[in-house]
Structure 1
């Protein structure tokens, strides 16, 4: 039986501060989801707890950071290496990793692990293309809006080529699903990647058809990255950058049910407990994970 090994990566290193001098709330997400019952539900389904990778200190360095560097760059690279080492052990044990973030800068560590272990494709489910990079923007700073570009080596080498392992995912084996129609980098992503599907198209297509298109690009044993801002803010407002026009919870669950079985692992990111004082959105994210990813890795 395939064992899911869930791992906490409570980082906000890839996000801008909500207000100057503050710290993003995404670092609290793994514990908030645990409090909502996620760990208990996963353990009931024969998963195992693979521990936590603690990030370095978040520093609001906007006033002092030199050009050509992203926020918290040194701490983020260190976290990526340590996350990669832990994931490598999980994969060597034959288990299927489920990483609970944190922000989506964790894709650097995930990609680094897969580049070391065995390269794989990527299915990137996100409300944004996350394809900002130095070639199309003068505002590069927050890797959580640049992770997909960095993962395919279209960013500064410090983050896109850690330990000379970039690209972490071949662009032609990367499929993205879920951006809004006004995403300014969608056309460039469509030209660079194997597949790019908007949220509008995703909400009108059958989930099995979407999954088959992604499977054809990413191949067997891809990584599945899910940013919960793919959900419409009417459903999930507790994220850093909510934009209208996303999926509803049932649509996302149905899509994940189709994508999860062929994945080598998955990550869930960008839920912000600071924007969820009553805890109701944590329950929603927990239910999406348990329902949509229950068969993670089952077809491998």
Structure 2
């Protein structure tokens, strides 16, 4: 899912680099390693053209809204094909606006829980901010129905995830929407709270809320910028790579699928951080879905 549609431009007239992530990760060996583990390459869902529309966008709309919704519908169709075939989808982003397409696909199938592992709550919405524009900072709010209907109720399917079955892990203590997220979601743990516990205790608490068969969304800015600076909004106080890998190992088997987002190759000129993301995905998600599908 090589999309950057949900991100703000890094500077006026430019486009974010997150759309390059799938090919940068392919170059780093990710696809080869996953295929060696038995994965199938299910292809690419191409997005529409990114437009820096800040000067022309009407109020009440997010950036690249039409293209973003259409891309979400096409992702949903692809995911439904994969799930109908009995396979476990792993979606490589791109930015985390792809959660909307994931949500549409799962809502059509009866709705599931959600594990949202992210360095930000992504809970900005029109009720708490006058700055709504970039869905990559608003995807979780939209996914539980707290946003404009154009993105939160695509095809009348919102909310895509029941809020009481949503777990968020990883925001920093200064996140402006953290308090509201705690009030509305099933479980919210900051990075500080999560890393002060064992991965096993975090996973146990999270799975009790989301229940097996959840979707696992991982935004790599949950990592501390000392180990992952190649993201558009790095904030100190995040996970170390081994901490996150161990947590994902515990969460992945109970997931029916996962998505990994927000790595920006434009901020990784020599490819070293692409290798970090590759190792994280292979090490943390190799057993994605095994508990869910083996139980069927």
Q: Same fold per TM (> 0.5)?
A: yes
Q: Which residue does 1:237 correspond to in 2?
A: 229
Is 1:53 aligned with 2:48?
no
Give every structure 1 segment of 4 or more consecutive aligned residues whose post-TM-superposition deviation is greater than 3 Å. Answer: none
* Mapped pair 1:132 → 2:104: no
The residue aligned with 1:222 is 214
- Name the structure 2 match of 1:151: 143
> Partner residue of 1:4?
none
Task: Name the counterpart of 2:78.
Answer: 86
| 1:56 CA displacement | 0.2
Instruction: Output aligned runs, 1:1-300, within 5 Å.
Output: 9-300=1-292
Residue 172 of structure 1 aligns to a residue whose secondary structure is helix
Distance 2:40 2:288 in 1: 13
TM-score relative to the length of structure 2 = 0.98
TM-score in terms of structure 1 length: 0.97
Gaps (5+ residues) in structure 1?
1-8
CA RMSD of aligned residues (A): 0.4
SS of the aligned residue for 1:229 comes to helix
C-alpha deviation, 1:34, in angstroms: 0.3
Paired residues in the alignment total: 292
Distance 1:220 1:245 in 2: 29
SS in 1 for 2:258: strand
| 3-state secondary structure, aligned to 2:160 | coil
The Cα shift of 1:204 comes to 1.1
Q: Which has the higher strand share?
A: 1
User: What is the alpha-carbon distance in structure 1 between the residues aligned to residue 203 and residue 88 of structure 2?
Assistant: 19
Alpha-carbon distance between aligned partners in 2 of 1:165 and 1:76, rounded to the nearest angstrom: 16
SS at match of 1:51: coil
